[in-house]
Structure 1
Amino acid sequence: MTVVRWQDANGTGIEHCQLDRDSTGLRLSGVVAGIRESGDGGFYLVTTDAHFRTREVLVWLTSGPRLHLHSDGLGHWHDLRDGSSLPALAGCIDVDLGMSPVTNTLPILRLGLDIGQTADIRAAYVPLPGEFPKFQARRMLQHYTRLERDLYRYESNDFSAELHVDADGLVLDYPQLFRRL
């Protein structure tokens, strides 16, 4: 078990995350208070298989919205609340929680990039509260480059950040968004 905490860049939000890892995969669970501009709070639970492919995602915001998703690990997703298929997320192997830097760990571990290597991925992006009119996961193309042993460049849309990580692939510093306490 590993426990980490992050503070958002403006100093008003804090996250407590527990990471459990065994031969079957990862279990990430966390609580966030003061989610960036919204000031909302939330709970999340993400599980992966042994290859760090996302299998289940639960997000519950204190303002009410919830998501409970399941993936077969091959890019096929379902809403566990009503059993419906989610073709808009087809091809997504990873999840990206807008409220937390912890989900950057999943592609970092799964891809196993050498220094100088890059990879494009599709992630099921779970937005910040109020970021979109409807709280639902959306497919997002992302690009990871390993710059040094403990440094990755993350790119998506018009956004780019260099992420400093520890030996377990957990973010230490996410410029302008999060820093590890």
Structure 2
Amino acid sequence: MKTLIWQGILYQSLEYFHLQPDDEGYTVESKILGYHEGKIYAVNYRICTDKDWIVQDFLVESEVNRVVKTFAGKRSGNQWEINNTVHPEFNNFKFIDISLTPFTNTLPINNLKLSENSSQKIDVIYIDVLNQHVRPVQQQYTRTASHKYLYENIENDFKAEISVDEMGLVTSYPELFEKIAEL
């Protein structure tokens, strides 16, 4: 079990995060409050993974400037059903990426188990909370040191070297997120 707080630097946010392992995998529950580019937002999310950190289901409930939106996803074999609709564009996707949290970087970091100086491209379900939509994106992770990874968003050339702890949870994501407290 782990509880921590991340500060969103760019997104002017605080995230209260809780990770609970169980016999089947991991359950994450988190709350985020923040303000970015004229948008006041609150987000509650829950993610359930198997032991290999592959997402099995998720629930993202957000309110952005009083507009409420929910994204509920469930894996069925290699298909994804999101908000009661099957989305073939996400077939075989193992991970999600929620725009306002560094946690979703932990999913591929822990699943891929990269050796130093190796990298891998992955497809993810990207949940853009502030713009309230979901789409497929391609990302690449390169392990640069024992607790450091180069994250790359393939479509827009965004890159960042993130630091993680022994559990693969982000401790520093330059200019975006910093861990500020932990139990």
What's the TM-score once normalised by structure 2's chain length? 0.89
Distance change (3 Å), C-alpha of 1:5 and 1:179: same
Distance change (3 Å), C-alpha of 1:76 and 1:151: same
Amino acid at match of 1:161: A
Residue of structure 2 in register with 1:98 after alignment: 99
Is the Cα contact below 8 Å between 2:47 and 2:55 reproduced in 1? yes
Amino acid at match of 1:69: G
Q: Which runs of 4+ in 1 moved over 4 A?
A: none
Amino acid at match of 2:69: P
Identical pairs, percent:
28
Distance change (3 Å), C-alpha of 1:161 and 1:23: same
Task: Measure, in 2, the Cα distance between the counterparts of 1:35 and 1:123.
Answer: 25
Residue of structure 2 in register with 1:146 after alignment: 143
**Could you list the runs of 5+ residues in structure 2 that have no partner in the other structure?**
none
Post-superposition offset of 1:23 = 3.2
Task: Measure, in 1, the Cα distance between the counterparts of 2:54 and 2:4.
Answer: 21
Counting matched residue pairs gives: 174
Greater share of strand? 2
Is the Cα contact below 8 Å between 1:44 and 1:58 reproduced in 2? yes
Over aligned residue pairs, what C-alpha RMSD do you find? 1.5
**Secondary structure, in 3 states, of the residue corresponding to 1:23?**
coil
1:71 pairs with 2:70 = no
1:172 pairs with 2:166 = no
**Secondary structure, in 3 states, of the residue corresponding to 1:64?**
strand
Is the Cα contact below 8 Å between 1:13 and 1:39 reproduced in 2? no
Task: Measure, in 2, the Cα distance between the counterparts of 1:64 and 1:11.
Answer: 19
Written as runs of structure 1 = structure 2, the 5 A alignment for 1:75-154 is: 75-79=78-82, 81-82=83-84, 84-130=85-131, 135-154=132-151
Post-superposition offset of 1:10 = 4.4
- CA deviations on 1:31-78 (whole Å, 9 max, x unpaired) are 000154322111000111122111111000123011000113x54100
Distance change (3 Å), C-alpha of 1:129 and 1:11: closer
- CA deviations on 1:134-168 (whole Å, 9 max, x unpaired) are x3321110000000000000001221000000000
Task: Measure, in 2, the Cα distance between the counterparts of 1:35 and 1:122.
Answer: 28
Residue of structure 2 in register with 1:22 after alignment: 22
1:39 pairs with 2:36 = no
Is the Cα contact below 8 Å between 1:6 and 1:15 reproduced in 2? yes
Task: Measure, in 2, the Cα distance between the counterparts of 1:148 and 1:78.
Answer: 36
**Could you list the runs of 5+ residues in structure 1 that have no partner in the other structure?**
none
Is the Cα contact below 8 Å between 1:35 and 1:99 reproduced in 2? no
Amino acid at match of 2:129: L
**Secondary structure, in 3 states, of the residue corresponding to 2:68?**
coil
Is the Cα contact below 8 Å between 2:102 and 2:173 reproduced in 1? yes
